[in-house]
Amino acid sequence: MQSDSVLADKFFSMSRMRLIGVALLVFALPAMAELGGSVSSIQADQEHMKGTRRVTTTAAYSVHEIQASTGTMVREFVSPSGTVFAVAWNGPSTPDLQQLLGTYFGQYTQAIQDKDKRTEQRTARGRLSIRQEGLVVEAGGHMRSFSGRAYLPQMMPQGVASGAIK
């Protein structure tokens, strides 16, 4: 991560994004938690998705974008301390969320089960929304086009709003 004289600036601006290159990494790392994991865990995601990776750096965070072989794009947002605090995706199919959400996949699965125990059937069609203190997952779409994001509110870098997670 580059430090930057405008690190103190609290507002993210698209104009500060600098492309620093395309990486094709070939060595394997053990699969570990992605969301909430370290930046080194993104390599495991890339291997899993058989994709190529592009990294974009801003003042407040970096975005590692992987294009999976299915055509789905996955973006992992890394804080200055090297933690993946958010992920987002869009494409023909939803990525492997057990891989992508890592240690948060269990919480995600439980939240879905808890939802269905409530009388949500009047309201449940077309999209997913899980909003917990420690985990937010919002996703939806239709056949051939799914999108979503997951982030850890407590790990968002200062000045980064949820609107940047896409």
Partner 1 sequence: MPRWLFCVLIAAATWTLGCGGGNNNTMTGNNPIAGPAANVVTLTAGGSAQNPAGIVNGAFTSVTICSPGTATCATIGGLLVDTGSSGLRILSSVLPAGFSLPKQTDAGGNPIVECAQFGDGFTWGPVELADMKVSGEQASSLHIQIAGDPSFSAVPASCSNAALGPNETTVALLGANGILGVGNFLQDCGPACTVSGAGNPGLYFSCPASGCVVTAESLATQVQNPVALFTTDNNGVIVELPTVASGGAVTEAGALVFGIGTQSNNALGAATVLTLDANGNFTTMFKGTSFPGSFVDSGSNGLFFLDTPTTGLPMCPVNTDFYCPTSVQNFSATNQGTNGHTTPINFSVANADGLLSNSNPNFLLPQLAAPFPGSFDWGLPFFYGRNVFVAIEGKSTPGGTGPYTAY
Residues at the contact surface with partner 1, assessed by CB under 8 A:
50, 69-71, 90, 92-99, 112-113, 115-116, 121-129, 131, 138-149, 161-163, 165-166
Query: CB-wise, 5 or 113, nearer to partner 1?
Result: 113
Cα of first residue to Cα of last residue in the chain, in angstroms, is 20
CB of 92 to partner 1, least distance (A): 6
Query: CB-wise, 4 or 47, nearer to partner 1?
Result: 47
CB of 15 to partner 1, least distance (A): 16
| DSSP character at residue 83 | B
Query: CB-wise, 10 or 115, nearer to partner 1?
Result: 115
CB of 47 to partner 1, least distance (A): 11
Alpha-helical segments (H) within 27-157? 42-49, 97-101, 105-117
Pairwise CA distance, residues 11 & 60, whole Å: 9
Pairwise CA distance, residues 48 & 66, whole Å: 11
